[in-house]
Amino acid sequence: MKIVFAGTPDFAVAPLQKIIDGGFEVVGVITQPDKPQGRKGILTPPPVKTLAISRGIPVLQPEKIRDELPALSALGGDIMITCAYGQILTQSVLDLFPQGVWNIHAGLLPAYRGASPIQSCILAGEAKTGVSIMKTELGLDSGDVLCVEETEIGETETCGELSSRLSQIGADLILTALRLLESGEFTLTPQGETGVNVVRKINKENAKLDFSKPCQELVNLVRAMNPAPVAYAVLDGNKINVYRAERAVLNGEEQAYFPIASCGEVLSDSPKRGLLVKCADGALKLTEVQAAGGKRMLGSDFINGRKAKKGQVFEC
């Protein structure tokens, strides 16, 4: 079984590595074009390309995969495995692979179809998620499911941390899937249309903290936006990135001040108490923050440096 692997970011590296180490023949890798990175705009290859080159695997980087059908066909693949590739596959691409195209999807289906399953399940406060291996068809993440591995989500787990775990789960699961496909002894499960939900791409416009909302919703937002695009709040016109936050337990003095404070108001001047901000149903403790142009620091150090004072109000 000759495999063509299509993937781009760090998330796809572990699955590709596992397939190679599992003894399967990878005849080609398809990934996105190199892109400028950092302030200097240095042209940087995708992580999947770096791995493929190190293992001597041919790499294609089409701007549009549908325009590279001859080169793709020339690889001679029997099957394609996709993982966070970043382009939609046309029927002409799907038709090139006699044993099908199979996707490693970082979410449970059909509840988390679409572009942001990891961030979206954290935003929704889900207790569990998982990785699904499904057969790719023209519909968005709507194909039949071959196998699934579920996992619990940690209460404080960020998108970056969960993504790393799901990448490893996906790596193990794709080996299981390939062995099933190789044996021919497998059953596909149609998703059906009950509980279908399509989650859209998350961007920086979704990352602003609105302290008029409930505390847990804000905690989930901070977790979902770490490491990117990063949740933020605005204080006196200045953007403050928030990397970690938790529900605060207020002391007597803070409880007395709470009823007269506005949503978004800083509730304490004490570095020992940290950066406490009133929200709809309690207070949020911003435990790791970063002022524009500054370094990441503890919320207590932010208070200690007088960058926020009791009575100041974050935008809602």
Global pTM value? 0.95
The answer to whether residue 315 is domain-embedded is no
Mark whether 163 and 255 lie in a shared domain.
no
Q: pLDDT band for position 134 (50/70/90)?
A: very high
Residues 216-273 pLDDT 10s: 999 999 999 999 999 999 999 999 999 999 999 999 999 999 999 999 999 999 999 9
The pLDDT value recorded for residue 233 is 98
User: What token pair was written down for 205?
Assistant: 């416009």
Contact indicator for 129, 107 with CB cutoff of 8 Å: yes
- The yes-or-no verdict on residue 96 having pLDDT over 90 is yes
Mark whether 194 and 298 lie in a shared domain.
no
The pLDDT value recorded for residue 123 is 98
DSSP string, the chain: -EEEEEE-SGGGHHHHHHHHHTT-EEEEEE-PPPEEETTTTEEE--HHHHHHHHTT--EE--SSGGGGHHHHHHT--SEEEEES--SPPPHHHHTT-TT-EEEEESS-TTTTEES-HHHHHHHTT-SEEEEEEEE--SSTT-SPEEEEEEEEPPTT--HHHHHHHHHHHHHHHHHHHHHHHHHT----B---STT--EEPPP-GGG-B--TTS-HHHHHHHHHHTTTTT-EEEEETTEEEEEEEEEE----HHHHHHGGGSPTTBB----TTT-EEEEETTEEEEEEEEEETTS-EEEHHHHHHTTSS-TT-BB--
Q: Region 115-120: what's the mean pLDDT? A: 98
Please state, in angstroms and rounded to a whole number, the distance separating the CA atoms of residues 133 and 154. 23
The pLDDT value recorded for residue 164 is 99
Judge residue 230's burial from the number of C-beta atoms within 10 Å of its C-beta, 0-12 exposed, 13-18 middle, 19 or more buried: middle
The pLDDT value recorded for residue 293 is 87
Please state, in angstroms and rounded to a whole number, the distance separating the CA atoms of residues 296 and 170. 31
* Mean pLDDT of all residues belonging to the chain: 97
Contact indicator for 150, 108 with CB cutoff of 8 Å: yes
Q: Region 103-122: what's the mean pLDDT? A: 98
Q: Residue 116 is part of a domain; what is its CATH number?
A: 3.40.50.170
Mark whether 106 and 255 lie in a shared domain.
no
Q: Region 67-88: what's the mean pLDDT? A: 97
Which residue do the tokens 């409880």 mark?
255
Last residue of a domain, one of 199, 215, 241: 199
Mark whether 179 and 84 lie in a shared domain.
yes
Range of the domain at 171: 2-199
The answer to whether residue 316 is domain-embedded is no
- The yes-or-no verdict on residue 39 having pLDDT over 90 is no
Mark whether 18 and 98 lie in a shared domain.
yes
The number of domains in the chain is: 2
Neighbours of 32 (CB within 10 A): 21
- The yes-or-no verdict on residue 193 having pLDDT over 90 is no
Mark whether 84 and 225 lie in a shared domain.
no
The pLDDT value recorded for residue 22 is 97
The answer to whether residue 154 is domain-embedded is yes
The pLDDT value recorded for residue 159 is 99
- The yes-or-no verdict on residue 316 having pLDDT over 90 is no
Q: Region 293-304: what's the mean pLDDT? A: 94
Which residue do the tokens 């416009």 mark?
205
Contact indicator for 222, 245 with CB cutoff of 8 Å: yes
Q: Region 100-123: what's the mean pLDDT? A: 98
Q: Residue 294 is part of a domain; what is its CATH number?
A: 3.10.25.10
